Amino acid sequence: MDANATGAPTYYNSLYRHGVDEKRRVQIPAKWRPAEPGVEFTLILWPKHQEGPCLRVLPPQEMAELMRDIDAMPNDDPNKVVLKRFIGSESVQVALDKAGRICLPEEMAKRAGIEGEAVLVGLLDRFEIWNPERYERVRASDAIMAQEAFKLME
């Protein structure tokens, strides 16, 4: 989790709908913005959903954790280089502008189906940016699976 100016962690929770302007800029909720200037998020085209890809957004410490996890894999595991190549080629660093927006790279936005509107979905330690129609299908699927998933917390 990102630590804000008070040292408290940033939790990426809730769901926000924002317009995407002609330059593919999308507003990041004020509660989700880093307190210090110049912090970059990592955008990854995330293919791991049957409804189609979304953009997964990792704050710096989550990206560092992902790299540690991949680096900890055995060097003879062929998945290690596949993950490094995929994430390396399908990700980009983005910084917030003075208005609290990030610019979605054209090809990534196109592949994720994000045009005039986007849904920002909190995942507690990171967030995702979705095409609204795709997200509604994902949300319906999640609602079905939630009952079973919550059993893990008992």
CATH number at residue 119: 3.40.1550.20
Q: How many domains does the chain have?
A: 1
Q: For residues 43 and 94, is the Cβ–Cβ distance under 8 A?
A: yes
**Spatial separation of the C-alpha atoms in residues 13 and 31, rounded to whole Å:** 9
Q: Model's pTM, two decimal places?
A: 0.88
What domain range is 15 assigned to? 2-153
From first to last of the 154 residues of the chain, give the pLDDT tens digit.
Answer: 555 555 678 899 999 999 999 999 999 999 999 988 889 999 999 987 788 899 999 999 999 999 999 999 999 999 999 999 999 999 999 999 999 999 999 999 999 999 999 999 999 999 999 999 999 999 988 888 887 777 777 6
